């Protein structure tokens, strides 16, 4: 029988991580603490949504305060097995302290450093994080630096790290949503011991956490495989590191291997399968003639002369796109502007009439239950889904974590004897 895994969810939003894990197995994944706080907002819509949906089902505490103000003692008291969270892509540069002894954060408010603080004070067995895929390439003037700092930080906290950029539409989803997922595990665990006996290629393409969860072909795309060794000094990484990370990889110690895998067999849910019956769609979602004309312009090709702030004239060009979204394919990436008169908004045509997606259909794009965000304003329902992750991906990863943890039979002390 599998053990219960205590989960802490940071930057919880409307609860996608928790929902996905509980769909994998609610008896195993028990959320013992979660935090959601939206700065500069009087209404905490995501927090209230989370509270409504997970009311009275076992959470000990749900915090609606700035994570930076939560005392470290709180995390020391929690017996955390799995730490999860999605966090903003920010500038992770670090600098030498006045004493010259170690790196310090170069900017306040960078939420990854709060993740680091939680880990330092709780030492979870597993960590599962989510971010936008541009994290691998940021900042633009020093490609890969920010991700390298994150890897080195987790290395220094004694974790092995795997990562993978996942497009939900390639693994059954109804939306082309690409996000990077980062899975870290203690380097003295049974799983780590088994992974160390493999070569990095086997981990990335066959036997790793992501390879087992999201199968790929055995050969890298266009032979894109590379290796880099991280400097032990994180400040040196911040100052000098530049490297082109591929969409998948593994870090063991200072050594980082990265590759570009291809999906073994692409499977998606067509957009038409998540649409409501038309008799369930309110008339307000249909486009009037004026709005149709606006979308024809926004989604059409254009060349516009513009003047920059310094007076330079230039031509802004934009290619055309289909006037409506293909019902037989997956939806495009949903943004927080969904539902507004914006080029990125989905427009579907059913029975000769064009309309917006409804909030319920946007929930379905991210595999949330219908009306998960009901209770907040319609604009915020679209906004929260534009920020959310695809729940079913977390369910798949949760199932793999259960399988990994079921084999955690040898203690850390015993592993040390084998190394």
Residues with a known catalytic role: 89
Whether residue 361 contacts residue 277, with contact meaning beta carbons closer than 8 Å, is answered with no
3-state secondary structure 356-396: ECCHHHHHHHCCCCCCCCECECHHHHHHHHHHCCCHHHHHH
**Ramachandran sector of residue 223 (left: φ over 0; alpha: ψ -120 to 50; beta: rest):** left
SS3 136: helix
SS3 327: coil
- Angle, nearest 10°, between helix axes 145-156 and 111-122? 10
The sign one gets for the Cα dihedral 2, 6, 11, 12 is positive
Q: Which residues face 31 on adjacent strands?
A: 7
**DSSP secondary structure string, 225-289?**
EEEEE--S-HHHHHHH------SEEEEETTEEEEE---BSS-B---GGGGPPPGGGS-GGGB--H
- The CB-based long-range contact list for 314-323 (8 Å cut-off, 24+ gap) reads 323/295, 323/296, 323/299, 323/347, 323/354
Q: What angle (nearest 5°) sits at the alpha carbon of residue 392, between those of residues 388 and 398?
A: 105
**Ramachandran sector of residue 371 (left: φ over 0; alpha: ψ -120 to 50; beta: rest):** left
Q: What angle (nearest 5°) sits at the alpha carbon of residue 120, between those of residues 403 and 178?
A: 55
Neighbours of 303 (CB within 10 A): 8
Distance CA 353, CA 288 (A): 10
Neighbours of 139 (CB within 10 A): 15
Distance of CA 361 to the CA centre of its chain: 21
Q: Which residues face 161 on adjacent strands?
A: 184, 251
Q: How far is CA 112 from CA 99, 153, 360, in A?
A: 23, 10, 32
Phi, psi at 39, each rounded to 5°? -65, 150
The sign one gets for the Cα dihedral 122, 128, 130, 136 is positive
């Amino acid at each position: 029988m599998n053990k219960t895994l205590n989960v802490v969810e940071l930057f919880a939003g409307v609860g996608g991580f928790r929902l996905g894990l509980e769909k994998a197995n609610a008896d195993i994944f028990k959320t013992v603490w979660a935090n959601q706080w939206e700065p500069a907002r009087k209404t905490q819509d995501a927090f209230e949504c989370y509270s409504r949906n997970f009311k009275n089902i076992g959470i000990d505490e749900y915090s609606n305060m700035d994570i930076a103000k939560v005392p470290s003692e709180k995390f020391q008291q929690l017996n955390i097995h799995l730490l999860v969270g999605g966090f903003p892509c920010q500038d992770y540069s670090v600098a030498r302290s006045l004493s010259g002894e170690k790196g310090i954060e170069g900017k306040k408010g960078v939420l990854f450093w709060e993740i680091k603080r939680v880990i330092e004070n709780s030492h979870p067995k597993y960590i599962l994080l989510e971010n936008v895929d541009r994290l691998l390439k940021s900042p633009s003037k020093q490609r890969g630096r920010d991700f390298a700092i994150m890897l080195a930080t987790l290395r220094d906290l004694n974790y092995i790290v795997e990562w993978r950029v996942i497009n939900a539409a390639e693994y059954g989803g109804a939306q082309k949503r690409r996000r990077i997922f980062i899975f870290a595990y203690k380097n003295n665990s049974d799983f780590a011991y088994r992974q160390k006996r493999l070569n990095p290629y086997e981990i990335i393409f066959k036997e790793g956490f992501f390879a087992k969860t999201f199968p790929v072909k055995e050969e890298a795309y266009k032979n894109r495989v590379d290796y880099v060794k991280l400097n032990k000094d994180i400040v040196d990484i911040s100052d000098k590191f530049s490297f082109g990370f591929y969409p998948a990889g593994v870090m063991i110690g200072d050594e980082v291997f990265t590759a570009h895998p291809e999906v073994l067999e692409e499977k998606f849910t067509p957009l038409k399968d998540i649409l409501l019956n038309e008799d369930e769609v309110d008339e307000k979602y249909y486009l009037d003639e004026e709005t149709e004309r606006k979308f024809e312009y926004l989604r059409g090709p254009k060349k516009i002369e513009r003047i920059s702030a310094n007076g330079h004239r230039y031509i802004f060009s934009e290619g055309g796109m289909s006037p409506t979204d293909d019902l037989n394919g997956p939806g495009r990436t949903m943004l927080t502007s969904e539902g507004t008169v914006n080029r990125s908004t989905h427009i579907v045509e059913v029975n000769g009439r064009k309309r917006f997606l409804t909030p319920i259909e946007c929930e379905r794009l991210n595999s949330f239950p219908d009306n998960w965000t009901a209770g907040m304003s319609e604009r915020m329902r679209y906004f929260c889904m534009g920020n959310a992750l695809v729940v079913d991906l977390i369910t798949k990863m949760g199932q793999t974590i259960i399988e990994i943890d079921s084999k955690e039979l040898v203690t850390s002390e015993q592993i040390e004897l084998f190394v």
